[in-house]
């Protein structure tokens, strides 16, 4: 099913839900998606003090914009207003956030 046509709407109408398979403290709002084509637009919220110990590698493109807060990705510090575009196969992490972070993400297969 293709992504729906949506005009501006308040995202607070979409609840934060725990991210399946993620550690506690990770929540997402799926804004729109097309599961058949592996296309997701979401907001991700990570609670203060959360951290990972693993490096991540995806088989899809991932674009991330930090809306609020900050995080460490490996030994690099990123904060509000910063952006990343990760192609399939790009390693990132482990990560940690001391004060919490909210991101806007777009993920797609091609």
What CATH number is given to the structural domain containing 44? 2.60.120.10
Residue of 13, 12, 15, 40 whose CA lies nearest to 27:
15
39-89: pLDDT as tens digits: 999 999 999 999 988 899 999 999 999 999 999 999 999 999 999 999 999
Q: Is residue 84 part of a domain?
A: yes
Confidence of residue 36 (pLDDT cuts 50, 70, 90): confident
CB count within 10 Å of CB 16 equals 14
Q: Is residue 82 part of a domain?
A: yes
DSSP tag of 72: E
Query: Has this prediction a pTM greater than 0.85?
Result: yes
- Domain ranges, residue 32: 16-108
Q: Is residue 10 part of a domain?
A: no
Q: How many whole angstroms separate alpha carbon 57 and alpha carbon 70?
A: 21
Q: Is residue 8 part of a domain?
A: no
Strands (DSSP E) found in 22-109: 26-34, 39-46, 61-73, 76-79, 83-86, 95-96, 101-108
């Amino acid at each position: 099913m293709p992504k729906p046509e949506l005009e501006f709407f308040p995202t607070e109408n979409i609840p934060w839900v725990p991210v399946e398979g993620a550690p506690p403290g990770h929540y997402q709002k799926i804004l729109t998606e097309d599961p058949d084509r592996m296309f997701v637009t979401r907001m991700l919220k990570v609670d203060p003090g959360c951290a990972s110990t693993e490096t991540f590698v995806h088989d899809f493109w991932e674009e991330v914009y930090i809306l609020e807060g900050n995080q460490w990705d490996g030994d690099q510090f990123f904060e509000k207003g910063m952006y990343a575009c990760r192609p399939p196969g790009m390693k990132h992490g482990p990560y940690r956030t001391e004060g919490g972070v909210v991101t806007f993400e777009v993920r797609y297969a091609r």
